[in-house]
Amino acid sequence: MTLPAIDWAQPWLAPYRADGEAAARAVAHGDGSVATALQRIRQASAPDFVRQEALPAGQAYEAHIFQTRTVPTRDNLHDFFNGLVWLAFPQAKRRLNELQAAEIARDGIGATRGALRDALTLFDENGALLDAPPALWRALAARDWHTLFVGQRGLWREARLLLFGHALLEKLVTPRKPITAHVLLPVHGETGPAALDDARVAAALDPLRLEHKPFVPLPVLGVPGWCRDNEAARFYDDPQVFRPLAGRGIPGP
C-alpha cells in the first residue's frame, strides 16, 4: 500500500505525529501492510495489529478484538489512523471496545445499533476532547460561534482540542470547512489537562451517560490557528457550517 500524502505539520496531527511518521515510513519501506507497520512501533499497552484476513468470516469486528486482543487492520487510511489512536489512547480505546463487545454479546448484530452503540461509534469515529476555560465551554455549548471564536478568541491560547475519532482524522487529510467533530462534554464540569489523559477519558466513558450522547458539535477548522482563513471574522458567517442551536433560526447539526 502507498499512503496518500499526509501533512504532519497540521496542528490536529500533533498528538499523533511521532508514531504516524514512523508508521508511514514503515509502510513505505516494509511490506506495505498497515498492520505490520503499526505492529512494529506498538508499545506493550497497545493490542497487536493483524491483517484483516485474521478476522473470521461472519465474526463481529468489535467482538473479535475483545476476544483476541488483536485489531484486524486493512491497508487503508481509515485503519491507519485507527491504529494511531489505539497507540495514543489504549485505555480509552479498550474501554470503547469492551462496551461495544458487551452490547453485541447481549443483543447481537442487528439493523440498528441502539443508543449506546450509536454513541460509542460516534465517539470512536468522530469524537474529540477539549481542555478549555469555562467561557469557551459555555459558548460552545450554546453554539455561540461569534463569542467562541471572535469575542473570546484570545482564550484559545489557554485551550487544547484533541481529535480522537479516526474517521475525523482521515477526513482532515483533505481539510474542508464543514468537517465537524463531536466534543465529549466534561464530567460534572471538570476541565483541565487531565481531561485529555488516557485513563481519565476511559473512566469518563460511562454507558449510562453515553446513552444520552453527551457531545456538542464543533467545526474544527474554526479553531484559531487551525486554518488561515479563519483569521477573518467573516469566516464564521456561514450558517450552513456554524449553525445555531435549534430554535434560533436554523436547525442545529
Please state the rounded mean pLDDT for residues 68-93. Answer: 98
For residue 190, the model assigns a pLDDT of 63
Buried b (16+ CB within 10 A) or exposed e, 111-132: eebeebbebbbbbbbbbbbbbb
Chain centroid to Cα 106, Å, comes to: 26
**What's the distance, CA 80 to chain centroid?**
13
Q: What is the tens place of the pLDDT at every residue in 169-225?
A: 999 999 999 999 999 998 765 667 778 999 999 999 999 999 999 999 999 999 999
Separation of alpha carbons 206 and 74, rounded Å: 29
Q: Is the pLDDT of residue 38 over 50?
A: yes
Nearest 5°: the CA angle 167, 157, 93 is 30
Which band of pLDDT confidence, cut at 50, 70 and 90, is reported for residue 110?
Answer: low
- Cβ-Cβ contacts under 8 Å for 104 (sequence gap 6 or more): 60, 62, 63
pLDDT of residue 193: 79
User: The whole model's pTM is what?
Assistant: 0.93
| CB contact at 8 A, 133 and 186 | no
Report how far apart, in Å, the C-alpha atoms of 203 and of each of 43, 93, 116, 128 are: 21, 11, 16, 15
SS3 category, 219:
strand
* 97/30 Cα distance (integer angstroms): 29
Task: Check pLDDT > 80 for residue 247.
Answer: no
**Rounded Cα gap, residues 236 and 230, in angstroms:** 7
